Structure 1
Amino acid sequence: MATVEHCLYCFEALSASLEKRSPMSLYQVQTSWDSYPKGLDEDDSEVETSSAAEPGDSEPVSRPTPRHPSVQRIADNRNSSRSSGSSTPASSSSNSLSVESAASTPGSSGSYSPVGLHPRRTSQRGGEITESPLFVTWNTIEPSSQHPRSLRGCIGTFESLPIASGLASYALTSALQDHRFSPISLRELPTLEVSVTLLTDFEPCKDAMDWELGIHGLRISFYARNKRYGACYLPDVAVEQGWDKEETIVSLMRKAGWSGKKEKWTEVGDLKCVRFQGKAESAGWDEYKNWKEWVEKGGEGKN
């Protein structure tokens, strides 16, 4: 699964690029994070006041909120009572894809802490993953807004890449080359949150309903009006938007650029679906900044 270190590394790659400096390596980020004081001695009762705890949970739990209000635009065209994301035609043969998704998967850690509040962070590198398909998502955080998170860029690949080079590349690609948005600027960094999703368990679906909500992401391709369309959603999108399977499929087809009637979705040609899994991790600028300042002051693990 993705880790906090992966997220910090994405911030480091983007920050270094915008500041015209050399970034720390993923190994340097990981070793420094191992030594970084993470507030493990904080009083649990103080932590719990920041978010609601569920019975039986050992950690405070905050309800996940929709992470990409931009996802809402698609469903608004279908149903004014729901919300969804922008429609982006994509070739099924393309390895690099943009995708609206939630940055935190409800099943990934059992809890979500607001940006800047990670009172019990630990290293998550049990079984080190060296290569993986991956997506990097940038969100703008606006706590005072009705929709506190808005998508700022999200691009990934279904090709298995070395984690270090893949994250560095797509951290920049999603921040600077997502055609739906202007490139992220240096002054925007303090308003950002990054999410990393490593993708696993790709399987062809028997049909469009052969997948599970909250477990699988979905990649589809189909023909309509002599044109092939394709798009994908990461595993957390459907659950956070409150969609059932059919609504998810229709929204995904809208995202791909299909404009037919929603009740006609089964009539498109050669509809193919691939399901996959992936657990996301996210981190905000404040967490990156605090860790980075500690490193620059001589924190252990820098070299």
Structure 2
Amino acid sequence: MATVEHCLYCFESLAAHLAGRKSLALEDIEKLYAEFCEADDTPTGQDGSSSGGSKTGVMKKRIPAISRLATNSSSSGASSPSSGSSMSLATDTPDTSMSSLDRASAPITESPLFVTWNTVSARSGHTSLRGCIGTFEAQELEDGLSSYAVTSAVHDMRFEPVSKRELPTLEVAVTLLTDFEDCDDAMDWELGTHGLRISFSDRGRRYGATYLPDVASEQGWTKEETLVSLMRKAGWVGKKDKWQDVDLKVVRYQGKKEHLQYPEYKQWRDWVESQGKA
């Protein structure tokens, strides 16, 4: 499943990109996070000041775990991105016989993945989408997480690129995708459990789109509302009450998600720097 370390690595990759410096490697982050969790002292910045709370308060002392966006397109051209917390890439869905990637005790080294950035309201704590891009093709996590962390922040065409000054307002969510299965019909999936990838043809045009597993539940949609919204996202402009006349191919999948807000990353990064390990 996705881990805190994966989220730290995404923040580190984006922060390094925006600052024009070299990022720490995922392997180094995993090692340093384990050391951070084992340390008894409250992390401090290089100036000796607290970085914003104790580990149990901000980081909650979590236990460490042992291409450019292609919009949903038709055959005649790409459709405009629509709302939603994920966007699909023009890659083939993995074999539907693919087994869960996090079974057994072996660490995950590659996986299909999505990286989502949200803006967190300082007043209410509510989040709003700031960028989300991923791939259904298995990626080596070292390269995939770094690449999509930056791509989803600066190349999601629904938004302006994330700037350095925005970093303190951000939350990152990493979703590793598992258990791809062909649905027997358009309703053969469960709200809150499955993400969906649909593909279909209508009037000589081909369409495709995806929603991650948490989208429908977050929006409070029914299954039908989810499917219609997903068809709209793909660019379909048919009548809402005619959606069932379209022959949908639906692939369901699951996602192992973790999320992290900037203050948690900052606290860990300050500790790393205070130890002279950055």
Q: TM-score, normalised by structure 2?
A: 0.76
The CA deviation at 1:171 is 0.4
Residue identity matched to 2:91: N
Q: Is the 8 A contact 2:117 2:170 kept in 1?
A: yes
| Partners of 2:116 and 2:173 within 8 A in 1 | yes
1:152 is aligned to 130
* Corresponding residue of 1:34: 34
> Which secondary structure state, in structure 2, belongs to the residue aligned with residue 195 of structure 1?
strand
The amino acid that maps onto 1:219 is: R
C-alpha distance after superposition, 1:118-163 (max 9, x if no partner):
xxxxxxxx64100100000000111425x82111100000000101
Q: Hey, what's the Cα distance between the residues in 1 that align with 2:228 and 2:38?
A: 43
Q: Percent identity?
A: 62
TM-score normalised by structure 1 residue count: 0.70
Query: What amino acid is aligned across from residue 178 of structure 1 in structure 2?
Result: D
2:119 corresponding residue in structure 1: 140
Mapped to 1, the partners of 2:207 and 2:148 lie a distance apart of 23
Counterpart AA for 2:261: G
Verify the 8 A CA contact 2:117 2:152 in the aligned structure 1.
yes
Partner of 1:206: 184
Cα distance change of structure 1 residues 38 and 189 upon mapping to structure 2, 3 Å threshold:
farther
Indicate whether 1:262 and 2:240 are aligned. yes
Check 1:96–1:202 CA distance in 2 against 1; reply closer, same or farther (3 A cut): closer
Structure 1: how far apart are the matches of 2:92 and 2:264? 28
2:76 aligned residue: none
Q: Which residue, 245, 260, 269 being the options, matches 1:283?
A: 260
Separation in 2, partners of 1:252, 1:229: 10
Q: Give 1:38 shift.
A: 7.5
Runs of 4+ displaced beyond 3 Å:
37-41
Residue 273 of structure 2 is matched in structure 1 by 296
5 Å-filtered alignment, 1:91-110, equals: 94-95=90-91
Q: What is the CA–CA distance in structure 2 between the aligned matches of 1:204 and 1:296, rounded to whole Å?
A: 48
- In the alignment, the residues of structure 2 paired with residue 87 and residue 241 of structure 1 have an alpha-carbon distance, to the nearest angstrom, of 9
Cα distance in 2 between the residues matched to 1:207 and 1:38: 49
| 2:167 matches 1:189 | yes
The match for 1:86 among 83, 87, 96 is: 83
Q: Distance in 1 between matches of 2:238 and 2:154?
A: 32
- 1:33 is displaced (CA, Å) by 0.5
Aligned CA distance change for structure 1 residues 292 and 264 (closer, same or farther; 3 Å)? same
Distance 1:139 1:40, change over 3 A: farther
- Is the CA contact (8 Å cut-off) linking 1:87 and 1:254 kept in structure 2? no
User: Judging changes above 3 Å, is the alpha-carbon distance between structure 1 residues 31 and 206 closer, same or farther for their aligned structure 2 residues?
Assistant: same
How many residues matched? 232
1:237-256 map, 5 Å: 237-256=215-234
1:113 maps to none
- The one-letter code sitting in structure 1 at the alignment partner of 2:249 is K
Q: Where do residues 163-178 of structure 1 align in structure 2 (5 Å cutoff)?
A: 163-178=141-156
For residue 95 of structure 1, report the CA deviation from its aligned partner. Answer: 2.5
Say if 1:132 and 1:40 are closer, same or farther in 2 by CA, change over 3 A: farther
C-alpha displacement of 1:225: 2.6
Q: Secondary structure at the match of 2:263?
A: helix
Q: Which amino acid aligns with 1:229?
A: Y
Match of 2:248 in 1: 271
Q: Distance in 1 between matches of 2:216 and 2:174?
A: 18
What are structure 2's unaligned runs of at least 5 residues?
42-57, 59-81, 94-104
Q: Deviations for 1:43-101, whole angstroms, at most 9, x for unmatched residues?
A: xxxxxxx9xxxxxxxxxxxxxxxxxxxxxxxxxxxxxxxxxx6179x88x80399xxxx
State the alpha-carbon separation in 1 of the partners of residues 136 and 237 from structure 2.
Answer: 26
1:219–1:232 contact (8 Å) kept in structure 2: yes
Is the Cα–Cα contact under 8 Å of residues 96 and 157 in structure 1 kept in the other structure?
no
2:149 aligned counterpart, secondary structure: helix
Whether the 8 Å CA contact 2:84–2:215 is kept in 1: the answer is no
Alignment partner of 2:136: what SS?
Answer: strand
- Structure 2 counterpart of 1:148, which letter? H
In structure 1, the gaps of 5 or more residues are 42-49, 51-84, 98-125
Counterpart in 2 of 1:112? none
CA deviation string 1:215-242 (max 9, x = no partner): 1100001112321111101111111222
Match of residue 8 from structure 2: 8
Give the corresponding residue for 1:129.
Answer: 108
2:173 and 2:271 map into 1 onto residues whose CA distance is 22
